[in-house]
Amino acid sequence: MNTKKINSLFVPTYKRDGAPLTHGKGSLLFDAGGTAYLDFGCGIAVNSLGHGHPALQKALFAQGRKLIHSSNLYFSQPQIDLAKLLIKHSFGKRVFFCNSGTEANEAAIKFARKWAKKQSPGKYHILSFSDGFHGRTYGALSATAQDKFHAGFEPLAGGFHFAPFNDIKAVKKLLAAHRFAAIFVEPLQGEGGVNSATAEFLTFLRKAADKHKCALVFDEIQCGMGRTGTLWAYEQYRVIPDMMTLAKPIGGGLPLGAVVCREDIALSLGAGDHGTTFGGNPVACALGVVVMNIIADKGFLKQVRVKGAYLLDKLTSLQKLFPAIESVLGSGLLIGVRMKADPAPIIAGCKKAGLLLIKANRNTVRFIPPLTVKKTEIDRAVSIFTSVLKKQPAKE
Ligand SMILES: Cc1ncc(COP(=O)(O)O)c(C=O)c1O
């Protein structure tokens, strides 16, 4: 089937071409046409252990043989094991499992409102920041301060307010005007263009959340779980949130999301207040246990930092050679090359040359390889990227 025919099968919410992907191994993906790609998109920051990791395959088959689904009416051992690991390795005392990042944020919005309304019924407003991304369902979408995701879907949910990212003055103004249940922020924005929160900003948000008795929620769906070289991005800021939302790599490639939270927030919820049929599925959680056990290891995290610094350095050195590059941003293995023009042709050129990269916001090329990527693969990726940049018509 050609691309046009395949696309005619689907609601056209994605722009796709090329042969279907068939299998993967480590940092490589292969398509039905026999082409191999170096996967520096990583299933949008999901395949942190690369493709076909033997420990994930083993857990997948072992749990698949035992029990694939049981619902949340009953306990399952993998869910208990993963909750214990998340609590052991974070600030959190309680966990809620769901299926995706959007659902994790949706749950966190509901938890924050239930908790804050116990203080006072009018305390339901939610604050989030420009260029943030929190998901596609109405609550998570309403917290996403990017017009392009809203267009055509209005009206959005009520009670959501936006301030410019890293703008303390603007936050102060909003906090004085509304009674907030929660502040949602990504310590390192992924979809928004690989923008880091400043330490001053997150420290201020922590103090403001304490002062106004609202929940500080860190969306670590993209930047958490080792991606920035520490298990959680918040560790690098020494700012502890009240809730943290997780998804993407946590299920080892299966749909899984989680809210990790403080005890008092958790205890403002009761049986039946929130729920999901599939969330915390035993197979996904069994893979989550493997992912956590590997990524939480200090030696593993160190090699992420070393390789991240290596990639950042190589990309930064390109800036001197190519005036089309505006800046190189990010931390660990979540790195963005901000271009002066739309980078879509560069990303398409890289794909043609066997390197998968992802666009972030209007003008940034995201490098998100598996955390297990080899140095030689980084060299190869940078070499392909360089050769594609060389072929771009000069604009400056
Ligand atoms: C920071 C962040 N939050 C939330 C989401 C939504 O997650 P999902 O696509 O699993 O619903 C994403 C997805 O890209 C994300 O990067």
For ligand 1, is residue 101 a contact (CB within 6 Å)? yes
Q: How far is the CA of 246 from the centre of ligand 1 (A)?
A: 9
Q: What is the pLDDT of residue 385?
A: 98
- Tally of CB atoms within 10 A around 384: 20
Do 226 and 86 fall into the same domain?
A: yes
Alpha-carbon distances of 15 from 8, 18, 203, rounded to whole Å: 12, 11, 39
Q: Report percent pLDDT > 90 for the chain.
A: 98
Instruction: Give yes or no: residues 218 and 329 share one domain.
Output: no
| Residue that terminates a domain, selected from 233, 268, 295 | 295
Ligand 1 within 6 A of CB of 336: no
pLDDT, tens only, 64-103: 999 999 999 999 999 999 999 999 999 999 999 999 999 9
Whether residue 396 lies inside any domain: the answer is: no
Q: Which atom of ligand 1 is nearest to the CA of 102?
A: 11
Domain for residue 254, yes or no? yes
Provide the number of structural domains found in the chain.
2
- Domain-embedded: residue 97: yes
Same domain, residue pair 207 and 221: yes
- Tell me: do 149 and 221 sit in the same domain: yes
CA 281 / ligand 1 centre spacing (Å)? 19
Nearest CA to ligand 1 atom 16: 222
With a 6 Å cutoff on the Cβ, whether 222 touches ligand 1 is: yes
Same domain, 35 and 100: no
Model's pTM, two decimal places?
A: 0.98
Tell me, yes or no, whether 91 and 223 share the same domain: yes
Opening angle at CA 266, ends 293 and 123, nearest 5? 130
Is residue 102 in contact with ligand 1, taking CB distance under 6 Å?
yes
Same domain? For 246 and 133 the reply is yes
Does 343 map to a domain?
yes
| 166 pLDDT tier (thresholds 50, 70, 90) | very high
Q: What pLDDT score does 7 carry?
A: 95
The CATH number for 99's domain is 3.40.640.10
pLDDT score, position 357: 98
Is the CB–ligand 1 distance for residue 366 below 6 Å?
A: no
Structural domain boundaries enclosing 357: 3-52+298-391
Strand partners, 252: 254
188 lies in the same domain as 304? no
Asked if residue 249 has its Cβ within 6 Å of ligand 1, the reply is no
- Tens-place pLDDT, residues 9-57: 999 999 999 999 999 999 999 999 999 999 999 999 999 999 999 999 9
Does 254 score more than 70 pLDDT?
yes
Ligand 1 contacts CB of residue 135 (under 6 A): yes
Instruction: Specify the pLDDT at position 279.
Output: 98
Query: Are residues 163 and 307 both part of a single domain?
Result: no
pLDDT at 395: 58
Which domain CATH number covers 34? 3.90.1150.10
Centre of ligand 1 to C-alpha 374, Å, is 26
User: Are 160 and 60 part of one and the same domain?
Assistant: yes
| Mean pLDDT, the chain, integer | 97
Which of residues 249, 267, 295 is at a domain's end?
295
pLDDT at position 1 is 84
Residues 6+ apart with CB under 8 A from 8: none
Return the axis-axis angle of helices 375-391 and 298-321, rounded to nearest 10°: 20
Q: Are residues 210 and 353 in the same domain?
A: no
Q: CA torsion sign, 140 to 146 to 147 to 152?
A: negative
Residue 266 lies in a domain: yes
Same domain, yes or no: 167 and 81: yes
Distance (angstroms) between ligand 1 centre and the Cα of 305 equals 23
Given this model, what pLDDT does residue 393 score?
82
